[in-house]
Amino acid sequence: MLEALKLSELREELHVSYSQIRTYLMCPMKYYHQYVAGTEASHRPTALVFGSAIHHALAHYYRNLQVAGEKIQEGDLLEMYTDYLDEELDRPIPLLFDDPDDEGKLKDKGVALLQMFHEKADCPTVLAVEQPFAIELVDPTTCEVMEPKLVGAIDLIIEGSKRPEIVEHKTTSKRYSRWQLDLEMQPSVYKLAAQELGLGETDVRYQLLVKTKSPSLQQCSIKRSSQQIQEMTETFCQVLSAIEAGHFYRNRSWACQDCPFRHACDGCS
Ligand code: SF4
């Protein structure tokens, strides 16, 4: 039986999230604008909002499966997605579209993805949907316990053939390669979170909704060694130390093109 943790309560304590660490690793200055200075964003990244809308619909699919033991109707699944997206489109900070038609195309793309998902998805025994967790990070080199806890939520936990299985949903424009999966740090986070939640040994799988012209579902089993978990912990602790020390520098890359803080970043020395 999983502990009934509330994400909002875990977030009341000093904490850091996986996406905050990822933001720092991508560009420390972006982290600074987003999480330290509270700089107003010029826009919201379209891919992020799209991914959230798909996640919202999938959470609804699996919650319904957990409670009713059967697939939700396709129309209800699509409604969860379109309602969420409409609300997001109404918010004051705009999404960035190159072309006014792109708004409709975005909606259509999500509908096609979810229709494909509804047709292909199986009906596992659901143990938890969006299960919150909090992990104490201990620096493996110094044994220092980091003050902020790593807080987040696991998309889905199901009963696997041998042990519980953690499933992460992602939307992507192309299929993941094996080397790309090997570099992902999120599965290591989930392995630690599973231990913290008392799940013991777990399997981890990415369920990828691929946004190609003909949408597809890619299922990727992911293994993690204790060395990879230790490397993730070490990296996260080093990021936390760098944040604590105020190291916020620009890391110019392809990501600057779509950065919501570019106006502030380019304007200050
Ligand atoms: S514009 Fe580039 S360097 Fe500046 S904050 Fe954004 S990602 Fe970082």
Residue 35 located in a structural domain: yes
Which contiguous run of DSSP H or E holds residue 121? none
pLDDT at 102: 85
pTM flag (> 0.85): yes
Provide the number of structural domains found in the chain.
1
Residue 76 located in a structural domain: yes
Q: Which residues line ligand 1 (CB under 6 A)?
A: 27, 29-30, 33, 250-252, 255-256, 259, 261-262, 265
Handedness of CA 78, 81, 87, 92 (dihedral sign): negative
pLDDT above 90 coverage of the chain, percent: 83
Of 98-107, 110-119, 190-199, the range with the lowest mean pLDDT is 98-107
Confidence at 7, pLDDT banded by 50, 70, 90: confident
Answer for the pair 23, 260: CB distance below 8 angstroms, yes or no: no
Residue 267 located in a structural domain: no
C-alpha span between 211 and 215 (Å, rounded)? 5
Residue 132 located in a structural domain: yes
pLDDT per residue as tens digits for the range 124-165? 999 999 999 999 999 988 999 999 999 999 999 999 999 999
What is the pLDDT of the chain when averaged over all its residues?
93
Average pLDDT, integer, range 214-237: 96
| Cα separation values, 213 from 48, 108, 126, Å | 20, 11, 31
Residue 16 located in a structural domain: yes
Residue 148 located in a structural domain: yes
Ligand 1 center to residue 26 CA distance, Å?
9
Of ligand 1's atoms, which has the minimum distance to the CA of residue 30?
5
Cβ neighbours of residue 91 closer than 8 Å, sequence gap 6 or more:
44
Residue 264 located in a structural domain: no
pLDDT at 3: 65
Residue 265 located in a structural domain: no
Half-sphere exposure of 126 (CA within 13 A, CB side): 23
Domain of residue 228, CATH code: 3.90.320.10
C-alpha span between 255 and 269 (Å, rounded)? 19
Q: What is the span of the domain harbouring residue 160? A: 7-259
